[in-house]
Every structure is written in C-alpha cells, then in structure tokens.
Structure 1
C-alpha cells in the first residue's frame, strides 16, 4: 500500500496543442499499436485520431456509432473494441465494419445504467466497473457529493450469460488497469481519492485492499502500455469542502446531492495526471494550473506525447511526456 506524493510539489504538465474532434466529450482515450488514439464522444461516435502528435492534420476518422454514450474503452488484439456505454451497457464494437454488439446490459435483473471502464484479461474474461447504482451519468456529481458507495467491479467470463459481481460498495468505481504480471486489477475509486487492488490470483485471490491512498485529486480513467506505468487521470483537485461533506451523515449528503445536480458546474482550472508502478509507487505527478483544458478524465501515451481526454471538452489535449520538451 502506498500514499500519493505531496500535492504541492508536482512537475509541470506542459501542453503543446489541441486536437479538435467536431464533437464534445472524449471521455476516454486509448492508444493503438500504430500510434493512433481511439476515443468516444457524447453523441455516440467512436473516433480514431491517426496522428495525435500532428498539430496541423491529425487525421480524425469516425469508426462506429454506439447509439448511446461511450465512456471507457479497451482495444483488443483482434482490432475490436470493448466499450462501456453509460446508456447501453457493455458493448463490443467492430472497428472494421462498425457493428455494435451488446455483451451485457444487466446484472441479476438490474440494468447497467452507468458502466464506466473496462479491461480484458489474458483468458478472455472482461472486467468492468459501474460507477453508481443510484445516479446515472447525467447526475454524476450527485454521486460524488452523496458518497453513495454503490459502485461495483464486475466480470464477464467467455461464454457467460451475464456478469458476476467481484466487488461492491465502491465509491464511484471508475478506471481499471491490469498489473504487468496479470495477478491483480487496479480500480480507481473517484469518490474516495484512492486506487484499490483486487487480486485475481495468488494467496489473496478474490480479496481487495488499498493500493494507493490520499491522492491529490479525483482519479478517473486508468491506462497502461505493455511494460509501462499505470497512467491515472485526475479529473479535479482535492477540495476541503467535499472532504468535509463526506464526513457528514447520509441525510446531509443526500440533501447536498439534490442541490448539486441542479446547480451549474464549472470544472476547476487545475488539471493533473499521475504515473504509478505495480508496487504502488508514484513515478510522476504532473499538474497544470489555470488550464484552459479542464476536467481531464483520461490519459494515454501516443506518438511520444501524453494525450488527454475530457468529458466536457471539444477535443484532445496533447502534452509533453516527462523528461521531454519541444
């Protein structure tokens, strides 16, 4: 178990250019093996950005439309895409023909109303998160304020008819990543500002524990390349008001949530990302203050750069990797 670094000493997150997408809300970004980046927009389109590092002509193509709201993505070896759709459930999308197939839309008779992020294991099992069983995507801020603890980690085995629940009671379950040796999952609990480890193998199989606690912001999507660190998007900085509210009773939190979902929301100008290894050590903490690109919900490496996604912005932000410039 580890603790995050002092939030007052991050390195600079250096922006280079923006990639306009002709639509809003590229909530998740994943890199492919050719240096491109895949993302999904609020209008249901799945896009590929061919050259995210090119400021002039990034080459944006539409690959498919889910008919819902795509969030977390996982690219498979056969060039199909797993998609957590907040409206339709867990999907599999053919990137060559654009065909969309529903893999799961309920568990134990309950609709999957807020699928969030997804990974595939070596044996073909798909693991994915549900952020909330109380609030849908349109009222996501209500769950963070209420601190409902209704997030879940689910798995769908090859040939299984419906998912099974691996973990329940998570605080806004969000991003997922697999350890380098495949023995555990790392789950982002946005509402608790922590990363949680779920053991897939070994003496602790089926158990969970804190992996990294007291993060300097709200962890959202996770991403890693083979042999690389886990990149953690921080959707917003830590706020004392939210920490204080989470220590109040359920009735107070529910009342505050009802107000929050009706109030206008302006994302803060502080954005950041972390890079974490499989021992829970923070390798990099990058931050930008007064950023014009707000509420970073995803991050990946592509073309020698960091590419950031956001649930609210009309494009992607391309930034320097640590230790590079220009």
Structure 2
C-alpha cells in the first residue's frame, strides 16, 4: 500500500469511527451534559447584560455580584437537597429571614461573641428544619402542605419580631472585626460568603455523590418504597435532609445579617419560589431522585442574573416576578417532557450505521472445486447432551476427555462417561460465558459477557481474572469496564489475549453493533505476572474469535462484522502490527482454534447473501430497518447454515464442513479438535456435536499442544 493509499485509508477509518450522531448520543448519556442547556442560558444572560449594561463585565461588578449571589445560593442549595429527596421546602425563605433576625438578636441584644452568634444561629436553622423533618419524615406529612404551613407561621413570626426589635437593631451597633469580615471581607480577593458557598458546594458534592448518605437520599427520592425495602432508614434520612436545609438557610441568614445589619418584613420574601425556579431550571427533577449541587447553582445563577439584570435595566419589580413565574412554568414543563423522552431521544440517535464495502464473497456452490463448497459433512454429527445445554457458544475438551460447554444460563456444563451420558454443572459463573481455554495449571479461563474474564479451578471454584482495562483518555464515556468479553486464548508466556467485541452494546443487543459496522470493539491482554490489563488493539470491528498461533508469535482475530481474519504480532520484527490474514470469507467468522496438522479451525456463525452484502453499503437503509422493522424481521446473514472451515498459516482456505439444513448445527460458533474428533458448539443450539475426522493425529489434544505433556511439565 502506497503512502497516499495508507493516508486515504486512515481518513476513511477516522470518518467511520466518528460522527456527529455518535458524539451527540454519547454526550446525552453523560450526566454532566444534562444541564448543558441551562448552562448555555446562564452564559447567554451574562453576555447579554454585559453588552447592554455599562461596566457589567468589569471585575469589580463581578465580585459585587458574587457577594450578592452567595446568600441566595445557600437557599437554592437547601431547596435542591429537598427536591432530590422527593420532597420540597417552601419555608426556606422564611427560615432564612428568621435566622437573619436571630443573628442580629444574638449579636446586638444578647451581646454574644461572634463565634457563639454563628453557632447559635446555625442551631436555630437546624431546629426550624427539624420541625419540617419531624412532620415529613416521621409523621409522614405531605412536604408541600407541611412546608407551606411552616412558611406562613414563620413569616408571621418574623413580621411580629421585626415590629418589636426593628428600632433596637437600627440604634445599636457592634465594633467587631470578625463580624465585619463575615459581612464584607474577602478570601484571596473573593468575597468571604462566595468562598464559603464554593467550599460548601464541594463538600455537598462529595456528600451527595460519594457517600452512603447521598446514595440513600437519591434512592429515597427515586422510590421511597423501594428504598425502604432495601433497608434504608427513610424516616431518619428525610428528617436529616430538612435539618440540613434549615442549616444552609441559617448560613445564608448569617452572611446577610453581617452584610446588611438590618431586617424588615420583606427580607427573604419570594425566595422560596425563586429557589424552586432555580433548581428546577438547573435540572433537578421535581419528581425527586435526580440532581446535583452544581445544577442547583447553575439554575440559581440564571435566576439571580435575570432578576439583577432586569432591576438594573429599570424593569419594574412586578414584571420581574411575572418573568420568574413564567420561567418556573416553562422549566416544569421542560423537566416533565425531557424526563419522559430523554431515553427515547437517545434510543433514536444511538444506533449509527456506517458504510462498509465487503470484498467479493467466494463461491459456496455445491459441487464446485471451491474449498468453501457446501456439503453435508455435519448433518449426521453425533449428538452430545441433546436438550441438556442451552446455546453452548464455546466447547472445549480437557485432558481426561470430558466435554465442556458455556451456556446462556451462566453455567459451564461438563459431560463425561463413555458416551458423555453424565451431565453436571461444572461451575456457575453468571453473566453469559463465551470463549474458554485451559491454562497451564488446568484452570478453565472463561470470557464472560457483561462481567469480564473469570477462571474456574479444577475443583470448580470460580475466581475473577479481570473485569476492566485501561480507559481511552479521549473518549467521553468511560470504557474501562469490559462490556462484552467474547473469546480468549493464552500465549506461551501465560498472557491472556481476549476480545471485547463492543464497548457500546450489551450481550442482548450486540447484533446492533454488527449492523452498525463501526470499530467499537478492542483486543485486550491480561498479564498474570503483573496482574495488569491493557488494551492492545483499539477501534476494532467486532473482534470475536481469538487464537494464539502455533508458534506463539502472533494472535489470530476474527472480525465478525467485516468478514475478515486479522493477525496481530506479539513477537518478532512485526511486533505490535496488525495485518489482514484472510480478506474473503463467505460468512461471518466466530471462534478460531488450532488444528492438529498445524492449521486452524474457523466457525462461520452466518453466511453472506447478496442482499446482506448490499445492505452493508447502505447505512441509511440499515438505520431505517432498525427503527421501523421488528427485530425478528431484520435483514441478516443466513443463520440456518452451519459451517466450519479449515485454513492454513498463510490464510488459505483448505476445506469446509457444512450443515446446510441447519437442523443439527445452525449458527455454529465454535469447534475443538481432540483425539481425532471435532466437537461443535453453537449460540442457538440445544446440543454439542461431534464428528470423526479422517487422516488426523488421533493422539493430539489441545492442552498438550499448548502446554506439552503433563508429566513432563511437572517434572
């Protein structure tokens, strides 16, 4: 291949790998992307006011806005926690106002020191919040009505207290550097109340997303009944949430009292509805169980900037209130619609087929001289375990001649006895066990879709080998988890090479990856000496079968979606390079295994047809098919033809074995040679097959081919 051709191929691969739809679907899956719309609105508002209001974008104005915003930010955060728990707190504005009064009362009337004033005010806020928590958490009162009543009572109390002490507050003052610092001080140039708010946000973020309290709180908001059944102390958690809400409002009241040094009947009026508007606008669901502290702050900034900007532009207060109300209505409507349709939106754009051009399919015409010509060599295969196995995707034979099958029920089934009449569950792993191989110590190493790579000791004990690999740093979604480990093989040095055929789909939807025809898979290596796992080939087209070559210097990899076999060099001058070994196959390759004569066996899980080959060049057609046609009517390769091929080290096909009826062995996915017989497994089969091979070494076993004679290994 010339330099220009290689460059063109590289561009083509890049175009197939990335697409706007693919990027958008992955973005929509990220939690941090959900508030992107309110975040954009927030930036847009700031830019608009910066262009229309003189000096709005200055540093001095920015610091002034931060000082004014911080107190509202605390109240919005309090509302956010209540909404996440599945409740609401309409009394946050009144608690804020009462705590503002309490701080001034303790300082100016009781003449307590500043430290004691802060602690006492926080206790007042916690006590007021505990009233809501007691009624809602332990007495099971409705949050809306309960906090509406406490709002009315607390607001009346504030007005009554202000009437008696307003003149006292106006005529008294205190000379305290600490109190002045709380009201007007700065930390590293940032207003102290804003710096404190940011610190509280960090703590609350960790609290909500990394602690048991946060997980339990989110679970309660999603479903109280389910949380209660899971053993979560729902009543206590709700009580503590409202105590936290009151404490945050108290912190806001302390900073406001230190900055304003006054109180009146309008203090905090309407803040509960502004806070509610803010957190819903930021993306915290009214239904509960969803939200972050940062979303609450984004919404709070939007409301604060809007109100502040409109006031500075001379807009009357009643207009500002009306605008805030309309925003709340719109936010609620958008929240409800988006919660219902987000999953549908992702589903509509997630599948993203790409253009693929297959090499011409070789002829499989019966009676032709082609090594792929159809025949009946598998039709009369001996049956093992009829109706006793469910989809043995892979089969393997141990040194004692016992046959193992990996089945869809999460088990590895073993058949033994002279005619394999004895059936037993060798191990229950879970997930979907797929490819298998014995290591030097006769542990059965198994690739398990949805779980990773596991091992089964000779006594049936199951142990984990690995379930993650290194993350691709530039990918939006974390791909470190092994989503669908498919097949594996073990190199002479003990390293386990295995395919993770897709990083976008699960076992139940992996056919979508083949239809999508994008390089979503990878080949991974686990080194038992260092116990590390790393991806050796990224962006591979549905890697499936994996087989270490006879000389141990390369790994053969089947690409199911491209209908090709690749060779990856692990030793020698080509180490680290990947090349095409077989470019033309009549079907979709699956597992690859060694043959006794130095060649290789290959299973074809599906047979290509002209219509299927045409469809892979029509991504739009495949997309419409996925969206509009039931799954069982999708255009697919012929899955009712069982086929096994043999090819040599140079990638040349030698001969084939077929079951064109699909009655005995359809959707063949695996085959193993052992002492003159070939054992057959299939993803949809209800049996394991066995056929007698002619002209082969009848003493050859897979274990000895990999690890040598057992007695010689031990000696």
TM-score by length of 2: 0.42
Q: 1:4 to 1:176 in 2, by over 3 A?
A: farther
Shift of 1:281: 2.1
How far off is 1:158 after superposition?
Answer: 2.3
Deviation at 1:95, TM superposition (A): 2.8
1:143 alignment partner in structure 2: 513
Partner of 2:383: 18
Aligned equivalent of 2:467, options 86, 99, 104: 104
For 1:75, the equivalent position in structure 2 comes to 438
Give 1:261 shift.
Answer: 7.3
More moved, 307-316 vs 91-100? 91-100
CA distance in structure 1 between the aligned counterparts of 2:392 and 2:529, rounded to whole angstroms: 31
Cα deviation, residue 38, structure 1: 1.8
Moved over 6 A (4+): none
Pairing 1:270–2:627 present: no
Alpha-carbon spacing, 1:97–1:319, altered in 2? closer, same or farther (3 Å): closer
Instruction: Give, in whole Å, the separation in 1 of the partners of 2:695 and 2:629.
Output: 40
SS of the equivalent of 1:191 reads coil
Distance verdict in 2 for CA 1:308–1:252, change over 3 Å? same
1:39 to 2:411 alignment = no
Cα deviation, residue 322, structure 1: 5.0
Whole-Å separation in 1 of the counterparts to 2:389 and 2:633: 21
Shift of 1:283: 2.3
- Aligned Cα root-mean-square deviation (Å): 2.5
Write the distance in 1 (CA, Å) between the matches of 2:422 and 2:543: 33
Q: Which runs of 5+ in 1 are unaligned?
A: none
Closer, same or farther: CA 12–263 of 1 in aligned 2, 3 Å: closer
> How big is the shift at 1:320?
3.5
Matched, 1:243 2:613: yes
Partner residue, 2:670: 298
2:504 aligns with one of 127, 131, 134: 134
Q: Which has the higher strand share?
A: 1
Aligned 8 A contact 2:469 2:534 in 1: no
**Counterpart pick for 1:63 among 426, 429, 442:** 426
Shift of 1:299: 0.8
| 1:121 aligns to 2:478 (yes or no) | no
Partner of 2:440, secondary structure, is coil
Match in the other structure for 2:693: 321
Distance 1:214 1:230, change over 3 A: same
Number of the residue aligned with 2:680: 308
Q: Deviations over 1:12-66 (max 9, x none)?
A: 3232332226231100112222322222111111122225x83xx4322221110
In 1, Cα distance between the equivalents of 2:629 and 2:599? Answer: 35
Whether 1:199 and 2:556 are equivalent positions in the alignment is: no
Distance 1:158 1:312, change over 3 A: same
Larger Rg: 2
Give the structure 2 partner of residue 165 of structure 1: 535
Partner of 2:659: 288
Matched ranges for 1:172-187 at <5 A: 172-187=542-557
Q: State the number of aligned residues.
A: 318
Q: Distance in 1 between matches of 2:666 and 2:447?
A: 22
Q: CA deviation at 1:71?
A: 0.5
Does the CA contact (< 8 Å) of 2:374 and 2:660 recur in 1? no
- Say yes or no: does 1:7 pair with 2:373: no
SS class of match (2:509): helix
CA contact (8 A) 1:36 1:302 kept: no
Distance 1:257 1:284 in 2: 36
**Cα–Cα, structure 1 residues 169 and 256, in superposed 2: closer, same or farther, change >3 Å?**
farther
Deviation at 1:259, TM superposition (A): 5.3
Shift of 1:306: 1.8
Gaps of 5+ in 2: 1-359, 366-372, 472-477, 697-715
Judge conservation of contact 2:439–2:494 (CA < 8 Å) in 1: no
| Paired position in structure 2 for 1:91 | 454
Alpha carbons of 1:163 and 1:142: their partners in 2 closer, same or farther (altered >3 Å)?
same
